[in-house]
Amino acid sequence: MALIDRIMEKARSNVKHIVLPEGEEQRNVQAAAKVVAQGLATLTMLGDPAKVQAVAQQTGTDLTGIEIVDPAASPKAEAYAQALYEIRKAKGMTVEEARKLVADPMYYGVMMVKMGDADGLVSGAIHSTGDMLRPALQIIKAKPGMKTVSSCFLMECPDKSFGQDGVMIFADCAVIPCPTAQELANIALGAADSARSLAGMEPKVAMLSFSTKGSAKHDLVTKVQEATRIAQEMDPQLQLDGELQVDAALVEAVGQLKSPGSKVAGHANTLVFPDLQAGNIGYKLVQRLAGAEAYGPVLQGIAKPCNDLSRGCSVDDIVATVAITAVQAQ
């Protein structure tokens, strides 16, 4: 069964409530109807109900069973504003600013998740990654003990000899431009969690570099070596190796030659890229040149699931992201 079908089956087994802040946007409206028809989640859409219904009518979409909430007229807005003020007052936010912000569907949606009125959030069809991430990072924050929110892509390659039946986790491809060694270690642990919870596989984590086990000397290599040490200290049971070149991570003969005896080299299913340029370019190369399916970015290390969409996303991309978010919330 394809990875996304397995995720959808899991989402149906324990249905969660997801908020879509971009409720007036056509692809969100069409995706919402599909999500509910397929039993993947229950939904709240944010926006002016008249505008949401007008889009539904234009597209022949039935929104029966979906809650539509106008943040500007919501009876919960004042409680959310007070809660937001409490969270951000140390950063200089006033109650008036908090009231203004919760009238914005993006902030209202994040507050729904924070206050437990939704289990997760999906947005980004009309917001940039930064504008979607900032409220999530400021309000939901990292999981206790984690500190760093990062992201991964679930990759499903046509060549089933890589990863686990072609399924791999790539991280971080969307959030932290230039991670420190500690942040890179946190990305590795977040990616290991994603491998278990979303792909149902035992992670074998490769800390990628242009060097394998000291074959090159450079500050950038030293950073990956340091991150490998920190990650292994944080989770001594985790199967993790580094620093590895990507061929040593993926190809058994190369892995055993360059990192003999390693349980990860040649068998990695979770790739941790040294920075955002490598990660973002890497997942797009595999998607375009190898014809892999790429699902994400999926935020990891965050206290409650909030996920971003590409502005070029399709209706089916939104449906898949809602299913992934619902599984993260389980």
Q: Tell me, residue by residue from 20 to 59, as one string, x for binding to ligand ACO by CB under 6 A and - for no binding.
A: ----------------------------------------
- Candidate residues 26, 38, 82, 129; the one interacting with ligand ACO per rule CB under 6 A: 129
CA distances for 258 relative to 41, 274, 278, angstroms? 46, 19, 21
Answer yes or no whether residue 137 interacts with ligand ACO by CB under 6 A: yes
- The whole-angstrom separation of Cα 76 and Cα 108 is 9
How near is the Cβ of 48 to ligand ACO at its closest, in Å? 28
Do residues 220 and 209 touch, judged by C-beta distance below 8 A?
Answer: yes
N-to-C CA span, the chain = 21
How near is the Cβ of 182 to ligand ACO at its closest, in Å? 12
Three-class secondary structure of residue 51 per DSSP: helix
CA nearest neighbour of 282 among 114, 142, 152, 115: 152
Answer yes or no whether residue 174 interacts with ligand ACO by CB under 6 A: yes
CA nearest neighbour of 71 among 104, 119, 99: 104
- Candidate residues 12, 76, 99, 134; the one interacting with ligand ACO per rule CB under 6 A: 134
Residue closer to ligand ACO (CB basis): 149 or 184:
149
How near is the Cβ of 41 to ligand ACO at its closest, in Å? 22
Residue closer to ligand ACO (CB basis): 126 or 142:
142
Chain-centre distance of CA 321, in angstroms? Answer: 9
Answer yes or no whether residue 91 interacts with ligand ACO by CB under 6 A: yes
- Candidate residues 148, 270, 307, 321; the one interacting with ligand ACO per rule CB under 6 A: 148
Number of H helices, E strands in the chain: 13, 11
Three-class secondary structure of residue 67 per DSSP: strand
Answer yes or no whether residue 138 interacts with ligand ACO by CB under 6 A: yes
CA distances for 123 relative to 86, 113, 117, 298, 329, angstroms? 24, 13, 17, 12, 16
- The whole-angstrom separation of Cα 132 and Cα 110 is 10
Residue closer to ligand ACO (CB basis): 133 or 254:
133
Instruction: Give the binding range for ligand ACO (CB under 6 A) out of 33-41, 173-181, 192-200, 202-210.
Output: 173-181
- Candidate residues 8, 32, 121, 133; the one interacting with ligand ACO per rule CB under 6 A: 133
Residue closer to ligand ACO (CB basis): 8 or 313:
313
How near is the Cβ of 180 to ligand ACO at its closest, in Å? 11
- Candidate residues 280, 300, 325, 328; the one interacting with ligand ACO per rule CB under 6 A: 280
Residue closer to ligand ACO (CB basis): 186 or 211:
186
The residues, ordered by sequence, that sit 6+ positions from 54 with a Cβ below 8 Å of its Cβ are none
Angle between helix axes 77-88 and 95-102 (nearest 10 degrees) is 130
Answer yes or no whether residue 93 interacts with ligand ACO by CB under 6 A: no
- Which spans of this chain sit near ligand ACO (rule: CB under 6 A)? 91, 129-130, 133-134, 137-138, 142, 148-149, 174-177, 280, 297, 310
